[in-house]
Amino acid sequence: MKRCLIVDDSSVIRKVAKRILAGPDMLVAEAGSAYEAIEICTHEMPEAIVVDATLPDMDAAELISRLVALDPDAKPHILLCTYAMDIGPIMRAKRAGAAGYMLKPFTRAQLLNNFRQLQAAA
């Protein structure tokens, strides 16, 4: 079973993403902060991670760098989730290890399509 972590300070975004992605082939966990995400990934690195671009406790690129550094062999597929098409934060996230990005608010089709593109979902 594949595992995914949704990292967003909005409980609504986490719950919507979890409802869309959770199923018989995907176990979805939630983190409301960057530090909570690091704690979860320290114990077990998920195959896919969706990271909010505007977490209040840490810059998204820094979080992505830290997550990638936890287990260099794991190579999780990381997707940045942002409200604005701002190339600076997107490029910093990609340099840190993000595989891609998507805009919020997202639809079910957009989220699933991003996961197909990342080869993180069946």
pLDDT at residue 119, rounded to an integer: 59
Residue 122 belongs to some domain of the structure: no
d(C-alpha 51, C-alpha 88), whole Å: 16
Over 50: is that where the pLDDT of 1 sits? yes
Count the domains in the chain.
1
> pLDDT tens digits for 58-116?
999 999 999 999 998 998 999 999 998 999 999 999 999 999 999 999 999 999 998 88
Over 90: is that where the pLDDT of 46 sits? yes
Residue 40 belongs to some domain of the structure: yes
**In the structure, what pLDDT confidence band is assigned to residue 120 with cuts at 50, 70 and 90?**
very low
Residue 24 belongs to some domain of the structure: yes
Q: Print the domain residue range for 103.
A: 2-117
Residue 70 belongs to some domain of the structure: yes
Residue 43 belongs to some domain of the structure: yes
**36 touches 56 (CB < 8 A):** no
Residue 33 belongs to some domain of the structure: yes
> pLDDT tens digits for 57-66?
999 999 999 9
Residue 22 belongs to some domain of the structure: yes
- Mean pLDDT to the nearest integer, 31-51: 97
Q: Which residues of 3-30 are buried (b: 16+ CB within 10 A; e: fewer)?
A: bbbbbbbeeebbebbeebbeeeebebbb
**32 touches 9 (CB < 8 A):** yes
Q: Which two tokens stand for residue 62?
A: 């820094």
% the chain with pLDDT above 90: 88
CATH number where 32 lies:
3.40.50.2300
pLDDT at residue 57, rounded to an integer: 97
Residue 103 belongs to some domain of the structure: yes
> pLDDT tens digits for 6-24?
999 999 999 999 999 999 9
**89 touches 61 (CB < 8 A):** yes
